[in-house]
Structures are given as structure tokens and as C-alpha cells.
Amino acid sequence: MESSIGSELIVTLAWRSAEVAGFGAALLLLTSLIVRRYFEYKARLHARVIAAWRPLLTRIAIEAGDAPALPPLQGRYLPYVMEEWCALHDAVRGESSSRLNAIALAPLGLDVAARRMIHSRRVGRRILAIRTLGFLRDPSSWKPLQEQLGAANALVSFYAAAALVQIDAQRAMPGIMNQLAERESWPGEAMARLLVDAGAEVAREPIRALMLSLAPSKVPPLLPWLAHVDAVLGNEVAIELLRRHPDNAGIVAAALVVVLDPAVLPELARFAESTDADVRQSLAVAYGRLGGLADVKTVTRLMCDRVWWVRYRAGQALLKLKGMTAERLEAVRAHLTDAYARDMLEHVRAEAAIR
Amino acid sequence: MILRHFITVVQWGFLGYFIVLNAIYLTLAFIAMFGLRRYMGGISAAERVYSHLQMPVSLVVPAYNEAATIATSIRALLQLRYQHFEVIIVNDGSKDDTLATMIREFELTPFPEAYRVQIKTKPVRGIYRSLKYPNLRVIDKENGGGKADATNAGINAARYPIFYCGDADSILDPHSLEHVVRPFLEDPRTVACGGTVRIINGCKVRGGVLEEVGLPRNPLALVQVVEYLRAFLGGRLGWSSINGMLIVSGAFGVFHRDTVVEAGGFRADVIGEDMEMTVRLHRTLAARGQRYRVAFIPDPVCWTDAPEDVATLAKQRKRWQRGLAESLWENRKLCFARGSGAAGWLAYPFFVLFELLSPVIEVGGLVVMAIAFGLGMMTGANFLAFLAAAFALGLMLSTTSLLLEELSFHTYPKTRHLLVLFVVSILENFGYRQVMSIWRLQALYGWLTGARIRWGEMKRKATWQQ
């Protein structure tokens, strides 16, 4: 029977679509199978590297004396050996690190390979190359690593910073501080660890200069992390920032968490009137850390706050105030007229009792 | 004559629809492929940097009449490899021994918590805290308002800036929280993040932990494995690359707490509260001119039980379709809204045309062509050509998802698994997809006519549980 629609074109198109899609599906299945084989092959390679190279590299790292003879390193094994070498480097220091570096250069040629790999379009490869060059601590790698410091990818840039610190922390500081000022994508805690690795004595002054010159909007996310690098420096910078920017809620909230000097508490009490809940919450935290019985009045006022978190932190602070005893706490409770504050006191006491 | 013209138009429409639909999905799959490649390339390096960064997370898990499984589910949650998290179980007025079981198993004690009501819910009857696990609390509330209301009660009690909400009967990967907080750490504008949900039927689970991945023997569950692969690895990953993802799955979603509270919490009066929340976040944040991101991670973070009988599957799919309709309708202002980006200009119209209305077009097209064939206005060979085109395009899409799976996590360990999934991708075209379209059409009709829909009891066999 002939089609009575009179539109053979659409039917032809339907058949062609079916053929193309069917062929496409078969091709995709084939590709999937090939991809699966390829990954299986890579997994086997990896397993072979671990079996052959891990014991050798570990022996080199832990045993002083002549390095064992190394088998020739085939190109296809190189990234895996490099991974193993970096993983071991993560775990060792001093002599072991130097021994690993010695075999990386001449017999293995990891330095040459890493310098080539640093330009790879694959992020994983680039990071592996950067880590290798960092562990090698070779000043001649400075330029390519500095180029990577400005990379758009935050991880690449971060690893480049870490590598530069490994080579020469002092020299790396200006570039790292520039990056801290410009980018917001570096993970704060990891960045703090990096600066700790660089050494507080090296990082201290650049951090102080950076924090006091940064645009106010960039200070709050950085301040708590930088205080991790050097708590005393964090305290000094925080007090300075509180005096310079008393009306910037973001800076005040961040600085209050970092302040360590109880002497400044009277100066801080005015922030209990802040319209920003984060500021009041941070103030409550500061009282918990630094406050004494003289601060009971301010803390109990914060316990009547309309924001739960402020009440909660103030409740915790009340329990932590220096000189606070169960009897004094009972006396405070007896004078609390605000139902929310009383509830919160019950809450934090129950919580403390469970802990 | 008019009928002939009508049938010609239907034919063109039917074919055009399938070609455009699959072209869009393939484009999304290719976008996903590049996103996946980038993601996989940096994954180990990212893990190294972010492994110490653990944003605290509140896990909010509603439970209703789950006395038999609740202890295992909670133990599995407490075993997650993460430093800083709290578990908040919301007992939604269970009629069985759910609460008593939790009190017994976890040494719960009543706790005078200063509970704050930021989102209105049904009354909370009591709050308990575990003496064994300091990070476990239980909110006991009156029943009503479904999972949305229970989740809202959990959000009220949540302490941390981001919260996970999921089902008590889902199995989480031990590293799921490490993966899912990364978008929040990398980009502070992230307000929600979804993850890939997989089917647990056929896998081996012991003590709430996945031990071995396998494929289900039940044919319905097997087809759902392919469906989930297609939906998560192709669709959602592609949409998320352009910030156009409209669904963060109710089985696994992590949200920024304050943003959800500002948006009013989950709506108890809609069926698909997970999708409604995601679309509402897009709508409200875009209207406010706020820069935000709804992220998705391709890692298989959550394993869920798929229905193995027709009745339960039908209920589930009707609910999903109804939820889709409600979410899109309630947030219709997102469509072509200024500043709504890919969500309002691409994803929303796409979801209306190719997800919401697809059962109308698919069933309608098939019915019209069957009639034309019956009336002798179309040859059997031609009818077959249209079916073949629709099937083959669908098959190509499913196979793309299989390729994406191979390029990323190759979760299914044996080559036989891959081949079985390919065969299932072919077989699902013979009946399964058509039945799905009919159920979805029924749900759409029910929504338009205002018919009431109930959640109903989900029959879960949980044969994988040991």
C-alpha cells in the first residue's frame, strides 16, 4: 500500500534519523567499550608501577647509603611514578627528601618531564608537574611556576604558590600576597597552612602590610585564616582594623573572632548595639573567650537578642566567663526576665551537662 | 483532505519534536562530557587541597513509620567520613515505634532546646539528644505537611550554614559530604548542590554501607538504572554547567540554610517539594538580582531503592509529573525573567516543552499515527519509520549516558554490566517508555482537573539490605 499522505520526504527523513541514531548508538557503545578497556589498561599500568616502584622509592626514602638500582623508566609509567614520588614526598622531610630528589634528577629525569608537563592542558597533569617541581626545590623552575601562580584555575594557582614557597618562601611572598589581594578563590584554610609552611617569621610582615592595605571588602574572609598563621599578629591586626573601620560590619565581625587581648573588651562593648547580627554574635564569642564577671551584664543583654545564634553564643559565653560558678549562674538566671534568654540558658546548660 | 493535512502536520511535529528533544539532550551530554573531563582531571588535586576543609553540615532526615530501618539508617549516617556534621532526624508523628526505637538504640534524652521557629511547621512535641552520639538530635513533631514540613522542622533546628536533606532509606556514599561541600567552598555564591543518585537494587549493602555494586534482576529496576544514568549524568550535569539545573533531587540535596529560610522553606502544599524549592530559588534570587549558583557534582553520592512493582512505580512517576507541573506553574515568573540566565531562558522553556508536555506529544503522536494507520492513510512501513526514529534517538541518548559513566566513575565493574545496560536501553523502547508517557499524561490530566493526589505507601523490597 502506498502512503496516502503524499509526503515521502518526512518518511525518508524518519528512516535516515533512525539509521543515523542507530549507527551513533552502536558507535557510542563501541567507544564505551574501548574507554572501559583503556581504563582497565591504565589501572593495570598503575598496579604495575605500585608493585615495582613503590618499594624501591620507599627504600630510597628511608635507607641511607647507596640507592638501589632503578629499572629504566618507560614513558607510559612516568606520570604514575611521578605520582608515587610526590606521594612519598608528602610524607617525608630532610634527608629522605634529599635522597628522593637525587634519584629524581639524573636517573629518572622527573625535572625535565615536569617542566614539559607544566604546560599540559590537563589540570591534573599540570598540578602533578607543579608539585614535582616544588618538591625538587630547583630555583631554575621559578619562572614557569610563577607563570602558573597567575593561572585562572584556583587549584593550579594554589599549588604553584605552594611550590614557590618550597623553593624560596621569602621570595615567594610578594607574589602570593598579590594573589591573596586579587583572588577570592583560594581555599582559606589551605592558604593558611601554606603560610604556616612558609614560616611565621617570613609571612608575618607581608601579612600585616597586606591586611592593612586591602580593600575593606576583602578583609573579612581572609582575617580569620591569617590569624591562624600567627595568632599574636592576628590580634594586633584585628585591633587595628577595629579602630580603623568601626562601622564596617564585615570587618568588625571578622576581627572580633580574632581578638585575643582582654584589655580591649571595654572598647568592644559598644558593638552590642550593632544592627548587624553577625557583629553581635562575634561579640558574644569574644566575651566567651576573653570575658570575666564584669561582663555579665553585656552578655545577658546579648542573651535577649532577637537572633537565635546571638542568644546561643551569648549563652555559651556566659558559662565560659572567667570566675563563673554554678551559684553565680543560678543568680543570673534568677534575674533573667526574658523568656528567650531563660530558654537559652537552659539549653546551653543542658548541652554543657551532656558534654 | 483536512484529516490528511492534520496527519501530515502531526507527523512532522512528532519527528521534529524527537529530533529537537534529542539534539538538546545530546548537546547537554556533550557539555556534560567536557564538564566531567575537567572535573575528573582536577579531582585528586582538589581532594588533596580540600580534604582539610570541612564546612560543617547539618543532615536533616525526615522519618515516618520507619521503625524497622531507622536504626540502620542513622548508624550509616553517623559513619560518614566527615569531621564536622550533625544529624537531625525528624520523626514526623510516626504511628509505629520509630521514636521508641531511636530512644532505645541511641540513648536519647529529652533536651530543653531553645528551638527557633524560622519556618512555620506543625507543632514540635519534643526534642531529644543522644547521650551516645553528641551530634545526633531527634525532633519529634506532629504529623502533617509531609516530608516538606518535616524537613522545615529540621531546618529550624539546624545549626550549620548548609544542610543536607534526603530520605531515611537512601544509602549515602561514605565520602558524599566531602564531595558535596566542595562547590560551596569553591564558590561562595553556591546556594544548592545536587549529586548523582544511583539505584541500589542489585547491590550488596551491609550495616547501611554499600559493599558491592551490581545490577538488579528485576526488569523494572533494571530499566530505572538506565533512566537514572540518563537523567543525572547527561541532563543534570549538562544543565548545571550553565547554571540551569532546575532539580536538586529530594534523595540527595544540599542547600544553603539561610537562603532556604529566606525563601520560606519547603512548601508542604506541593508534591515535588525538592524541584519546587530549586525552581523557587532560581526565581527569587534572579528577581533580587543576586548572583548565585545551583551546582551539581557527578560523583555517585547516594544510592536509592527503586520500585520493583508496577503499582509503586506508577505512583512514583505520577507524583514526579505532578510535582513537575506544580513547580513550573508556581514559579512561572521565572520563564524569560530578566536576569534569570540559563535557568529562565533555556531550562524553564525546555522543561515546559520537553518534560511537562512530552507525554501529550508522545502519546498524542502515537495515537494519531495509529489511527492514520488504521484508516489506511499510512503504511505499516511508514508507521514503523517514525517509531524507529523515536526509538533510535532515545537509544543514542541512553548510550551517551553509558559513555559518560565509562568516562567518569565506571561504577559498574563488569563489561557484562555495560552490555546489559545497552540491551535494556533498547528494550525499554518496547512498552516501558510508552507506559511511562501514559502515566505522566494521567498525572498531567489530574493536575489540570485539580484531582487530589496522595503520596501513598511506597513499597520497598530492600532485598539488597543485609
Q: Which of B53, B395, B418 lies at the smallest CB-CB distance from A22? A: B395
Determine whether the interchain pair A189/B52 forms a contact, defined as Cβ–Cβ distance below 8 Å: yes
Asked whether the beta carbons of A87 and A61 are under 8 A apart, the reply is: no
pLDDT of A306-326, one tens digit each?
988 899 999 999 999 999 999
pTM given for the model = 0.82
Stretch B377-404: mean pLDDT: 88
The answer to whether residue B419 sits within a structural domain is no
Angle at B293 between CA A157 and CA B399, to 5 degrees: 90
pLDDT confidence of residue A1? 40
> Is the pLDDT confidence value at B427 over 60?
yes
Q: How confident is the model at residue B459 (pLDDT cuts 50, 70, 90)?
A: low
Stretch B389-401: mean pLDDT: 90
pLDDT of A194-237, one tens digit each?
898 898 889 989 999 998 898 888 888 888 888 888 899 999 99
The answer to whether residue B258 sits within a structural domain is yes
Q: Which domain holds residue B270?
A: 19-53+189-353
Q: Which of B43, B111, B403 lies at the smallest CB-CB distance from A35? A: B403
pLDDT of A168-193, one tens digit each?
999 999 999 999 888 877 777 788 88
pLDDT of B274-290, one tens digit each?
999 999 999 999 999 99
- Chain B touched by A347 (CB under 8 Å): yes
The answer to whether residue B239 sits within a structural domain is yes
Q: Scanning the structure block, which residue is given the C-alpha cell 616544588?
A: A134
Residue A302: name the closest of A252, A268, A263 by CA: A268
> Is the pLDDT confidence value at B456 over 60?
no
pLDDT confidence of residue A227? 85
Residues in Cβ contact with A270 at an 8 Å cutoff, skipping those fewer than 6 apart: none
**Residues from chain A contacting residue B396 (CB–CB below 8 Å):** 21-22, 24-25, 28
- Chain B touched by A46 (CB under 8 Å): no
Q: Scanning the structure block, which residue is given the C-alpha cell 484529516?
A: B3
Write a three-state SS string for chain B.
CHHHHHHHHHHHHHHHHHHHHHHHHHHHHHHHHHHHHHHHHHHHHHHHHHCCCCCCEEEEEEECCCCCCHHHHHHHHHCCCCCCEEEEEEEECCCCCHHHHHHHHHCEEECCCCCCCCCCCCCEEEEEEECCCCCEEEEEECCCCHHHHHHHHHHHHCCCCEEEEECCCCEECCCHHHHHHHHHHHCCCEEEEEEEEEECCCCEEECCEEEECCCCCCHHHHHHHHHHHHHHHHHHHHHHHCCCCCCCCCCEEEEEHHHHHHCCCCCCCCCCHHHHHHHHHHHHHHHCCCCCEEEEEEEEEEEECCCCCHHHHHHHHHHHHHHHHHHHHHCHHHCCCCCCHHHHHHHHHHHHHHHHCHHHHHHHHHHHHHHHHHCCCCCHHHHHHHHHHHHHHHHHHHHHHHHHHHHCCCCCCCHHHHHHHHHHHHHCCCCHHHHHHHHHHHHHHHHHHCCCCCCCCCCCCCCCEC
Mean pLDDT of chain B: 89
Which residues 265-324 of chain B have a CB within 8 Å of chain A? none
Q: Which of B11, B388, B406 lies at the smallest CB-CB distance from A10? A: B11
- Chain A touched by B450 (CB under 8 Å): no
Determine whether the interchain pair B410/A36 forms a contact, defined as Cβ–Cβ distance below 8 Å: yes
- Give B221→chain A minimum CA distance, Å: 21
ipTM: 0.83
Determine the Cα–Cα distance for residues A123 and A257; give it in Å rounded to an integer: 36
pLDDT confidence of residue A2? 43
Range list for CATH 1.25.10.10 in chain A: 261-355
- Give B329→chain A minimum CA distance, Å: 34
Residue B270 backbone phi and psi in degrees, to 5 = -120, 160
Determine the Cα–Cα distance for residues A348 and A314; give it in Å rounded to an integer: 10
- Chain B touched by A66 (CB under 8 Å): no
Q: Which three cell numbers stand for residue A90?
A: 608528602
Residue A229: name the closest of A189, A261, A208, A200 by CA: A200
What is the number of other CB atoms lying within 10 angstroms of the CB of residue A327?
Answer: 8
Comparison of pLDDT for B46 and B400, the residue scoring more = B400
> Is the pLDDT confidence value at B464 over 80?
no
Q: Scanning the structure block, which residue is given the C-alpha cell 550488596?
A: B204
Determine the Cα–Cα distance for residues B75 and B255; give it in Å rounded to an integer: 23
The answer to whether residue B207 sits within a structural domain is yes
- CATH of residue B202's domain is 3.90.550
Comparison of pLDDT for A262 and B44, the residue scoring more = A262
Determine whether the interchain pair A5/B418 forms a contact, defined as Cβ–Cβ distance below 8 Å: no
The answer to whether residue B295 sits within a structural domain is yes
pLDDT confidence of residue B465? 56
Total domains, chain B: 1
Q: How confident is the model at residue B30 (pLDDT cuts 50, 70, 90)?
A: confident
Question: Percent of chain B having pLDDT more than 70?
Answer: 94
> Is the pLDDT confidence value at A3 over 70?
no
Comparison of pLDDT for B208 and B265, the residue scoring more = B265
Which contacts (CB < 8 Å, 24+ apart) does range B42-46 have? B42/A123, B42/A124, B42/A127, B42/A153, B42/A155, B43/A124, B44/A124, B45/A123, B45/A124, B45/A127, B45/A128, B45/A155, B45/A159, B46/A155, B46/B182
Q: How confident is the model at residue A4 (pLDDT cuts 50, 70, 90)?
A: very low
Specify the pairing of strand B171-172 against strand B293-304.
antiparallel
> Is the pLDDT confidence value at B95 over 50?
yes
Stretch B5-13: mean pLDDT: 81
pLDDT confidence of residue B214? 93
Q: Which CATH number fits domain A261-355: 1.10.4010.10, 3.30.10.20, 1.20.1300.10, 1.25.10.10?
A: 1.25.10.10
Question: Percent of chain A having pLDDT more than 90?
Answer: 58
Asked whether the beta carbons of B279 and B248 are under 8 A apart, the reply is: no
Mean pLDDT of chain A: 90
- Chain A touched by B371 (CB under 8 Å): no
Determine whether the interchain pair A21/B396 forms a contact, defined as Cβ–Cβ distance below 8 Å: yes
